[in-house]
Structure formats: structure tokens, C-alpha cells
Structure 1
Amino acid sequence: MLVFAPLSWIGSRQVVNALSVLAADSERLKRMDFSRKPHPPETFLYEVNALGEAQCVMQEAIEQRTRQRDRAQLKLARLVDNGIRLSRQQDRDALLRHILFGAREIANCAAATLYLKTERNTLMLAHRTQEDTLPVAEIPLYDEAGQPNERFLAAHVVLHGESVAIDDVHAETRFDLTGTRSFSEASGFRTVSMLAVPLSPRAGEVSGVIQLLDALDPDTGEAVSFAPDIVGFVDALAAQSAVALENRNLVDAQRELMDALIKLLAGAIDAKSAYTGGHCERVPELALMLARAAEDTTHGPLADFRFRSEDERREFRIGAWLHDCGKVTTPEYVVDKATKLETLYNRIHEIRTRFEVLLRDARIEQLEAVHLRGEDAAWAEARFQACRAQLIEDFAFIATANIGGESMAPEDIERVRRIGARVWLRHFDDRLGLSQDELRRRAAHPAPALPVPEPLLADQPWHAVPRETHSRAYDASHGWKLRIPEKLYDFGEVYNLTITRGTLTDEERFKINEHIMQTILMLESLPLPGNLRRVPEYAGTHHETMIGTGYPRGLSAEQLSVPSRIMAVADIFEALTASDRPYKPMKTLSEAIRILHGFKRRQHIDPAVFDLFLTSGVYLEYARRFLRPEQIDVVDITPYLG
């Protein structure tokens, strides 16, 4: 809010002086004695004439002073009103226009121009009252030698921070006014006087110049010089305007910084995983496209949806950009887990090495049987080849199971366990070279004497990583309705290889789902201003469903706003059509819409938003912008509507 300082502070000494003169005149009039006795008859006629002339002069003086007072009061009222309007103006272009036209009105002049100082130490023409195209040329404040540019009036005013009034433009020799004179000749608008006033938000700083042309006589309308008291009023307005403009620039800079930091964070999340790059950028694009379509619809359940202001639209956009900010807490090897045995690397290589050991053992057994125990060589060779074939077949099965899929049959799960039960002999200490964390998990389990037989696939006690249940993230006060696994991770080999769907264990799936909890916690901990209070809601509800089966809070349809429902559709569709995920092939447009329709039928997404997604053509517009050409196939949307 703009705070008005005393007029003396804002440079309106002339205004105060003018009002003082008016007050003194009023006092003198009050002291005049109109009750004196008449003069003798011989002087009566003379005195009557003299008194009449005096009264006429006095009357004219009083009327003139009254007009001056009224004009001064009007200008003061305009100045106060201007300050209020400046403090309320949110749009920068509208603010510049208001500054300029306010200055022209208070100064009662023919035209006005506004120059703003740039980071390049130049003055740029920002606005003028004439409705024409602004020239792009800039006025340098310093010449090539680094000396102050005193040739131009506007540059002089900025460099010295002082107002300059010119009574006759065509007689002026101090400054180069060629441009003004040329404009006068070309337009037929003959400029007589000029007033240039600095925009100075604080002492020693100048951010621009208001340049006024041709003061107009309030009685005749003719171009005259700018009166000294007018300069005071314009100085006051310029000070108000400079503060308001600086405040607007600071607010805009803060917004730009905040938006840049938001995009920086979203970009860092995408960069963290090579396989989800662009997700945090594409989801806001799709969400905003859908929101615009919802605002344009005039019928159906979404007919009343509108963002009431640009602030509300920005609030939604920020929520969309930050919808996955909690993923900064999710390890990459969980997000990117492409195979069941993958952690920081694919542990299928360890399993393969054990199969190699069993094959070497089988070969050694064959050689010992023939050369040490004298068994039949052909029989020993056949036995070895049978063992070799079985090992190759079993490893191929385990390697295939490691890939993951839509489901895993019970008999396949049993075969994994049966293969895993086969024993191999370990001769080396498996506790050498371990981290302190790994050693702590093995501390309760004494090391056996070597060599020791071990199962080919094992779920060892130290494969389980305990969870810190005292973390504030799991506090019931947050309203979470997610089942929290007892363990943080479980790296058991059989446990992972028998995952029935996909590649994630229950613990890893929770870790990924936990990102939405972290998103909400992170955003709710921020001191967001009132116009951004719904950012945590928009960012944290895209995994909820219409029937309360979503997470993390199990919200129902009545608890989900239209922007939240839009976010859910945008997030799912982007994930379905993304071409950069290692754990699934990219979907064509028709496949993605068919799957999304399944979400609609199961009431996981809002049917009205899904139908709008199709009927508005947003699905196709998004596909043309972000999908690969081979993904875009023909879609008949008719079966999916209603």
C-alpha cells in the first residue's frame, strides 16, 4: 500500500507557498474595517469613485485568488486520488499509462512522454499520450568516452535528478531539441514549452523522466510556460509514481523469480531421472489447456467453472508445476527401477555369477568322477550336459522373471522358489568391504564358518531395511490413509523376483507414492501468500479418485475441486503417452485414450473432465505438440463419451 508522506517531502513546496498566500489574503480581508463613519460631503464624491475602483480591484483580486485556491485544491485532490489509484494498480502497462495521463491532467498540458531508465544506462521511451507507434531508439546517459550525456534534456534530468522547465522550445540552446522541433513540424503540433521531471523513488536514485509539452492557460487554452506552482504538483506526482512503479517492479521481479525457481525445481526433478524428463513441464501445459477448455464450455457440469482472476490462474499453474516436487525425496533407483532385481544396479549379474559357479562345480564333478573315481566317461559327460542344460534353462527363466510384466502366474512363482532353493558353496567372507549401514543390519546374525552352503536365491534378514516410524511425515494429523509398510525396503531376491505385477515391491511402491505426501508437506510448510493458498491442494490431489480410493488422503468427489480433477487427467495422460519410460513401452494416442476411459469407468477420474478432454480436441492438440509422429493414430472418440 502506498503511504503518503507530507507534501514537503514529496517536493511540493510551491503548493504549500500558494496555499499560504491564499490564507494570508483571507486574513487581511477579515481585518478590514467596513464600519467607519462617512467622510465630509466635500470629499464624498471623490471617495465614492476611489472606493468603487478599489472595490473593483479588490473584487477581481479576490476572484483571482479564489480561482487559484480552487485550482490548487483540485490539484491536491487529484494528487491524493492519483496516489490511491497508483497503489491499487496491478498491471504494469496500465500503471505507466496512469502515471502519464495523471501528469498531463495535473499539469494541464497538451501532451506527455514517459522515459524509463534501462539496465544498459539508457533511457527508453516507455509511453506517451499520443496514440502512435513508439520509436525503438534509446537515449544513452553516457557517451562513448564515458562522459555524461548533457545534450538531451531527459538524460540531463536523470543524471542530475532535477526538474527542468523550458519556456520557449525554439529558442532553447542548452539541449538538443531537434526531435521535438521535427515532430512539431511534421505533426503541425507546435511545441512552445516543456517540463521534464525525474522519477525518483528515493534520494539519489532516478528511474525515469516525465516530459510534459505545452502548459495550457486554464482560461484561454493557449500554450504558455509551466508555472512554478505546477512544477511542485508534478514533482509530487512524479515522486508518488516513482514509488508505485518501483513497488510494481519489485512485485513483478519477485513473481518472475518465484516462477523461475519453480521451473528450476521442476526441471531438477525431471533431470534427476533420465526417464521422466519433461514430465513436470508437460503436465502443466496439458493442465492449462484443459483448464482453458473448461472455462470456455457453456453447458454441462463444467459450465460454471471459471478462474475469477489472473491470480487464480497463476495459482493453478504453480500447483501444476509443483505437483511432483516431493520426488526430490525419492531415490532415482526406485523411480527408474526397470527390473525386479534392480537397486543401484541390476543384481541379475550376481545371480548369473552363481549359476556360473554351479556350472563350474558340475564340470569339476564330472572330471573328478572320471579321473579320480574311475566312473564311465560317457555317463559322466551325459550327466554334466543334462545339468548344464538345466542350469541354462533355469537362468533364462529367472532372467525373464526379472523383467516384470502385467502379472505372474502362481506356478511361475513356485518355480522361482524351487530354483532358488538350490545350494551353492560360498568360500569367501561376505562381510568384507561393506558399509557401516550394511554391517549394522548384519550385527544380529553371526557369521558362519567357511565354506558355507547357501541357497541360489535368498531372502536374507539383512536384505530388510528398517523404517524410522517416528518421522513427522507419517503423523496421523496429516490425514494420510495410506498403509505404511513395516520396512523401508526389502531387497530379498526371491521376494523381488516373485513380484506379481510390474517391478516394484510394496515398499518401493509406497516410496514412490510417498512423493505426494512429501509434496503436500513441503508446500504446506511454505509461507504462501493468500492468493497462492490453494497451491498445495492443486499439487497434492492428482492421485485421488472420485470414489475415495486414491491417495494420500482418500478424498471423495465432493472434496475435489475442478482444477484438482483436471490435474488428475493431465498427470495420467502424460504418463501414458510418455516415450521416455524404461519400464513400459510408449502408448499410441488411441491406446492411451482407451486406458484413460478405463479410469473413467472405474470412477478414478472425473467423467465430465474426460469427456471435455475429447470433445474440446485438447487430446489432439497436446498430441501434435508433444507426442512422436508414430504415436498419433486415428481415434474415434464416440464410444468413449457419455
Structure 2
Amino acid sequence: MSSNSVTDFKLRELSKVLKTASESSQGTEYHDVVVNLCRDVENALEYDLGSKDELIERLTEIGLALSGETRLERLLEMIVDEARVLTRADAGTLYIVDPEGRKLEFSILQNDTMQVRMGGTSGNEITLPPVPLYANGNTPNKSNVSSYCGLTGETINIADVYEAEGFDFTGPRKYDAATGYRSKSMLVLALKNHEQDIIGVLQLLNALDEDGEIIEFSPDIVDIVGSLASQAAIALTNAQLIQGLKDLLYSVIQSIAAAIDAKSPYTNGHIERVVTITMMIADKVNSLKEGKYADVCFTDDELEELKLAAWMHDVGKISIPEHVVDKSTKLETIFDRAEMVDARFRLIAEIIKNRQLEETVAALSNGTDPSKLVEIEMRYAVELEQVEEDRQYINSCNIPKEFMSDERIARVEEIASRTYESNGETFNWLTEDEVRNLCIRKGTLTDKERSIIESHAAITHEMLSRLPFPKRLSRVPEYAAGHHEKLDGSGYPNGLGGDDLPLQARIMAVADIFEALTAKDRPYKKPMKLSQAIKILGFMVKDRHIDEDVCNLFIDSGLYMDYANAELDPSQIEEEE
């Protein structure tokens, strides 16, 4: 059997496979695509398209590649690349119909002769204005060949744009005049989704023969490219749906994060800032060529996984009462009970004044010597002065500025042990719960309240574990819940440490702590100087609470200063005297 016979046999076998596929896909969005491709392969048997083996191989590769690519930018680039390979086109442009269906937006622009690659993954942004599908309101714009195709869905095959009639080729001619290029043959096809809606336009320019001469696009290959366009449209629709789901996921996540931040006027923006710092560090890790992380390179999926974890790291706080999260003073619950304690001390002062008045009236009734009245006044004045001093002292203990030493705690307990009478009942000056809160040695939280807040990490893991993350994002719950773990194993919720603590969680820990230290909107502390925050990070490294390498990378690379310049008040950045 000759080489050509073998090739023809392979094409016929491929045709049989495609026919079977078309029957099995009956009623699905892929049916018409498979049928058209089957027809085009059979047509190819009747024409000399060069290497039929190569055609089979290319069609197989294209089908697999398009169906397997979910990255939208890469897929768009592949569509133009593959169409140009099949047609030997020197240039190609892919337009995408905008969501309103009013214009064609440039997506990919390629020209080998001019060495131009724009859009997609090239990194070169296309700045050309979109092609309007309608002019002067709702008048269809059929003068431009790409908009005509986008409106009608017709395939246009032009041998020479300089001799063609019916379309305005002013644009290509101006481009040629400015660059010295010669636009000649053109093939324009519509990309239609499974509902036959036009979602894009593929424009190919200057087909080349084996000698590099510009020729007309062969009618023999137009149907094959048409089938490619149909396959591409289905793949593009799927990619857009996937991207839409991603966008929806991020929108929901960011809305939840905003709702969590909005629960507290004091932490508004915390989550977004932690995301910023986290991704700054991760990107820096990826750029390193030497040092500890030279061999570490997060993939796109791993970066997305980390970013999602950073957005969701505080989702468990949605179940934590606001008065615990925002507790700015020791006596605060749903309101600051310092007002009640203050009113109680004033009541005690009034009770003392009443006793003084009663004793003075009794002394006057008995004809007491005036010196006795002076003694009564002085004695009660001392007692009232002590009440006022104790009131101010309790108020100072309520505000977490000074560490509660044993001596300070003893004084609180002594004040609390005193009693007063009201309406025939006896009460302590302070309740047990008030004493418990006022004697918090550092900060504003009792052990119980701290446990409630710390539970947000476990709740975060529980909530996120219920979400059906795809395999490539499966560790989002682990990373999100791990930002309070410590290298020495003393963190929460699982007490992980050492090698059990993944790098992603270590990065988030540094980001979360640095943001909290430098935040300028916390009610329980003044905005911290940048230099002081760096010192505290150093102490935490020494205590093995955070990762030394991650912290050093954040500081030594200057990332901390980039963040500070963008987010902090200038007064925080100034060096302390």
C-alpha cells in the first residue's frame, strides 16, 4: 500500500470515528461541530492539502488542546495560532463580541512579517479601539469586513483586499502605508457557540505558499478552518463559563470578606490588606534566584489557592460576637460597663454625703460643739476623696494601657470587697465579673473571650471544608485556618509547628501580624510606628512564633516599606527620635 493510500485510509478511519462520535453526541452542543468536522475530513480526501498525515495529526492535537485549555487568554491565543498553522496565514486577529453585543473588541493580534504579537499571554496590551457593530445608534455596521461577519455570521474569503468591493478597507491600507506591509488575501470567519450566537470573529491575513508568496486562501481549507472555528467557539464558551464561575466565586468571597470587616468599624479593610501583603511575599518568593527560596516557585494554581485562603482567612469571625471582636476596654460587652461602674461610684459618694448630712443634722439637734461639725465634715471629705480616687483608678484599669501587676490587682480586689447599702440591700462595690475583667493583666480579653476569638480559626476550617473546592484548590481551608499557627507549636487551632506548617501558612501569619501591628484604625491602641512593628516581628522570630526566613524576606527585600508607603500614615513611617 502506498504512502498516500495509507494516509487516505487513516483519513477514512478518522471519518468513521467522527461519524460515530456525531451519533453519540446527538442532541448535545457538540453534535454539529463533530458532524461538520466529519464532513470536512471526508472533503479533504478529494483535495491535495499537502501532507494528510500532518493534517490528521494537527486536527487531533488541536481538538485535544482546545478542549483541555481552561485559561482564557491562552485559549484565545491558541485559536489564532492553530488557524494560522492550518492556513499558513502570515497574520491573524481575533475579536470578541462585548457583553452588550455592540462591538468587537481586539483580543489577539499577530503578524509574523511585522514581528507583532499582542494580547493573550504576550504581555503586550492591544490599544486599538474596538470595531463597532452598530453605527449611529442601531444601524448595523456592514461596511467593515469584521463587523459584517460579526453581524451576519457569513464567511468571507477575499483574494485581494485592494481589489475587493463592498467593504471599507481604509484601515488595512493605512496600516500598509505606515508600515510598508502589503495586506492582500483575507479570510474572515465567525465563532458561534452552541446556541448559534456569534461570540467572536477570526480574521486571517495573507495565506502563504511553500515559497512564501502570498496566495488566496484555498476554498479546500476554508471548511476545515470553519470546523476549527466551531470547535474554538465551544471551547471559548466553556472557558468563559469557567472564568465566569471564577469571577462569581471571587465576588462572593470578597463580599463575605467585606461583610466580616464591616461587622467592625475598627477592622474594615483588614482582610484586603492581608491579601495584599500575602501576595507581595508570594510573588517575591517566585522571583528569587538564590537563597532559601531559590528552588520554590508557586504555580498559578498555587498562587490562586493562597490568594483565596488569604481572602477567607477570617471567615470564621462571622460567628464571633462583635462585642468580643471589638472589645476595646476590659468592661465592654455589648456596651462599655464602665459607665455603670462610674455611676455606682457616684451613687456611693451620694450615700456617703447623705450619711454626712444625717450625722450633721443629728449633731446640730443635740447642740454639738462647732468643732465636732468640722470634724464630721473633714472625716467625710477624706472618705469622699478616697471614693473619687478609687473611681478614677478603676477607670484607668478599664483602659488597657498599663500592665496589671499583682499590686494593681490587689487594689482592685480590695476596692471590690467594700460594700454599700441601697434600698435595704447590701452590695459589693464591684461584681465578680467586673473584677475578673478589670484584672486582665494584658489587653482586654478574658481567657474565655480569647478562646471564643481563637475559635474563629477552627470555624474557618470547618466552614471552608464544606465547600467543594476543586483539587487544585483543595488546601484553601488548611492555609486559611493556619495563619495563627506558630513554629514552636503553641499556636491554634491545631498546634502545628516545624515541618508540619506549610510555607503558605507561614507567609499568611507574617502578613496578618504585620497588618495588625501597623493598622491605624484600632480602637485599643495608637497607630504603631513602623520601626516598632519591625522590632516586634524580630521578637516573634526569636520566640519561634513566626518564620525567620519569611520575615527576613519581607524586611530585607523592602516589601514592608512598599506596603507602608501605600497604606500607612506618614507619621508611622518616620523614624522615632
Following superposition of structure 1 onto structure 2, how do residues 234-249 of structure 1 map, counting pairs within 5 Å?
Answer: 234-249=225-240
- Describe the SS at the equivalent of 1:11: helix
CA contact (8 A) 1:161 1:204 kept: no
Residues of 1 paired with 2:253 and 2:316: CA distance?
A: 13
Q: Rate the CA distance shift 1:300–1:151 in 2: closer, same or farther, 3 A.
A: closer
Match of 1:419 in 2: 415
- Describe the SS at the equivalent of 2:80: helix
Between 417-426 and 330-339, report the one with greater CA deviation.
417-426
Report which of the two structures shows the higher radius of gyration computed on alpha carbons. 1
> Structure 2 counterpart of 1:341, which letter?
L
> Structure 2 counterpart of 1:126, which letter?
S
Say if 2:67 is the partner of 1:87: yes
CA contact (8 A) 2:40 2:227 kept: no
CA contact (8 A) 1:406 1:502 kept: no
- Describe the SS at the equivalent of 1:129: strand
Residues of 2 paired with 1:9 and 1:612: CA distance?
A: 53
CA deviations over 1:64-99 (Å, ceiling 9, x no partner): x6x35x655643442222122223335434332321
- Describe the SS at the equivalent of 1:510: helix
Report how far residue 505 of structure 1 moved.
Answer: 0.9
Question: How many residues are treated as equivalent by the alignment?
Answer: 532
Between 220-229 and 525-534, report the one with greater CA deviation.
220-229
Say if 2:149 is the partner of 1:157: yes
Q: Rate the CA distance shift 1:348–1:149 in 2: closer, same or farther, 3 A.
A: same
Q: Rate the CA distance shift 1:337–1:205 in 2: closer, same or farther, 3 A.
A: same
RMSD over aligned Cα, in angstroms? 2.9
> Structure 1 counterpart of 2:199, which letter?
S
> Structure 1 counterpart of 2:431, which letter?
A
Report how far residue 6 of structure 1 moved.
Answer: 6.2
Residues of 2 paired with 1:124 and 1:183: CA distance?
A: 18
Residues of 2 paired with 1:269 and 1:303: CA distance?
A: 36
Match of 1:481 in 2: none
- Describe the SS at the equivalent of 1:542: helix
Q: Rate the CA distance shift 1:604–1:135 in 2: closer, same or farther, 3 A.
A: closer
Match of 1:387 in 2: 383
Report how far residue 408 of structure 1 moved.
Answer: 1.7
Match of 1:103 in 2: 83
Match of 2:546 in 1: 605
Say if 2:92 is the partner of 1:112: yes
Report how far residue 347 of structure 1 moved.
Answer: 0.9
Residues of 2 paired with 1:285 and 1:263: CA distance?
A: 13
TM superposition score normalised by structure 2:
0.83
CA deviations over 1:78-137 (Å, ceiling 9, x no partner): 222212222333543433232123222223444333222113411123333324475623
- Describe the SS at the equivalent of 1:207: strand
Say if 2:311 is the partner of 1:321: yes
> Structure 2 counterpart of 1:82, which letter?
I
Residues of 2 paired with 1:110 and 1:358: CA distance?
A: 94
- Describe the SS at the equivalent of 1:115: strand
Match of 1:436 in 2: none
Aligned equivalent of 1:207, options 194, 199, 211: 199
Report how far residue 13 of structure 1 moved.
Answer: 7.2
Q: Which runs of 5+ in 1 are unaligned?
A: 23-64, 428-450, 460-491, 636-642
Q: Rate the CA distance shift 1:73–1:235 in 2: closer, same or farther, 3 A.
A: farther
Match of 2:139 in 1: 147
Following superposition of structure 1 onto structure 2, how do residues 534-573 of structure 1 map, counting pairs within 5 Å?
Answer: 534-573=475-514
Compare relative contact order (CA 8 Å, sep 6+) and give the higher one, 1 or 2: 1
Match of 2:105 in 1: 124
TM superposition score normalised by structure 1:
0.76
> Structure 2 counterpart of 1:249, which letter?
Q
CA deviations over 1:333-387 (Å, ceiling 9, x no partner): 1122121111122111111212222222222222222335625433332333222
- Describe the SS at the equivalent of 1:245: helix
Q: Rate the CA distance shift 1:387–1:188 in 2: closer, same or farther, 3 A.
A: closer
Q: Rate the CA distance shift 1:139–1:579 in 2: closer, same or farther, 3 A.
A: closer
Residues of 2 paired with 1:316 and 1:401: CA distance?
A: 41
- Describe the SS at the equivalent of 2:190: strand
Residues of 2 paired with 1:13 and 1:228: CA distance?
A: 17
Q: Rate the CA distance shift 1:363–1:299 in 2: closer, same or farther, 3 A.
A: same
Following superposition of structure 1 onto structure 2, how do residues 517-596 of structure 1 map, counting pairs within 5 Å?
Answer: 517-596=458-537
Between 178-187 and 589-598, report the one with greater CA deviation.
178-187
- Describe the SS at the equivalent of 2:104: strand
Residues of 1 paired with 2:81 and 2:535: CA distance?
A: 58
> Structure 2 counterpart of 1:250, which letter?
L
Q: Rate the CA distance shift 1:174–1:555 in 2: closer, same or farther, 3 A.
A: same
- Describe the SS at the equivalent of 1:255: helix
Between 552-561 and 579-588, report the one with greater CA deviation.
579-588
Residues of 1 paired with 2:90 and 2:73: CA distance?
A: 21
Residues of 2 paired with 1:359 and 1:267: CA distance?
A: 47
Match of 1:440 in 2: none
Aligned equivalent of 1:409, options 405, 409, 429: 405
Match of 1:503 in 2: 444
Report how far residue 168 of structure 1 moved.
Answer: 5.2
Q: Rate the CA distance shift 1:287–1:194 in 2: closer, same or farther, 3 A.
A: closer
Residues of 2 paired with 1:151 and 1:187: CA distance?
A: 24
Match of 2:279 in 1: 288
CA deviations over 1:156-177 (Å, ceiling 9, x no partner): 2222223233355445433333
Q: Rate the CA distance shift 1:568–1:111 in 2: closer, same or farther, 3 A.
A: closer
Report how far residue 240 of structure 1 moved.
Answer: 1.1
Q: Rate the CA distance shift 1:213–1:416 in 2: closer, same or farther, 3 A.
A: closer
Residues of 1 paired with 2:209 and 2:293: CA distance?
A: 58
Match of 1:468 in 2: none
> Structure 1 counterpart of 2:410, which letter?
E
Residues of 1 paired with 2:560 and 2:425: CA distance?
A: 60
Match of 2:186 in 1: 194
Residues of 2 paired with 1:618 and 1:186: CA distance?
A: 44
- Describe the SS at the equivalent of 2:468: coil
> Structure 2 counterpart of 1:158, which letter?
G
Report how far residue 389 of structure 1 moved.
Answer: 1.2
Aligned equivalent of 1:257, options 226, 248, 257: 248
> Structure 2 counterpart of 1:631, which letter?
Q
Match of 1:456 in 2: 429
Report how far residue 140 of structure 1 moved.
Answer: 1.9
Match of 2:347 in 1: 357
Match of 1:15 in 2: 40
Residues of 1 paired with 2:87 and 2:361: CA distance?
A: 116
Residues of 2 paired with 1:181 and 1:152: CA distance?
A: 13
> Structure 1 counterpart of 2:64, which letter?
I
Following superposition of structure 1 onto structure 2, how do residues 212-223 of structure 1 map, counting pairs within 5 Å?
Answer: 212-216=204-208, 223=214
- Describe the SS at the equivalent of 2:201: strand
CA deviations over 1:188-241 (Å, ceiling 9, x no partner): 6555543321101223300111123344566x7665544443221111010111
Aligned equivalent of 1:332, options 297, 322, 329: 322
CA contact (8 A) 1:10 1:239 kept: no
CA contact (8 A) 1:405 1:503 kept: no
CA contact (8 A) 2:33 2:231 kept: no
CA contact (8 A) 2:529 2:572 kept: yes
> Structure 2 counterpart of 1:394, which letter?
D
Q: Rate the CA distance shift 1:201–1:605 in 2: closer, same or farther, 3 A.
A: same
CA contact (8 A) 1:83 1:240 kept: yes
CA contact (8 A) 2:104 2:200 kept: yes
Q: Rate the CA distance shift 1:553–1:231 in 2: closer, same or farther, 3 A.
A: same
Residues of 2 paired with 1:187 and 1:613: CA distance?
A: 47
Residues of 2 paired with 1:250 and 1:8: CA distance?
A: 19
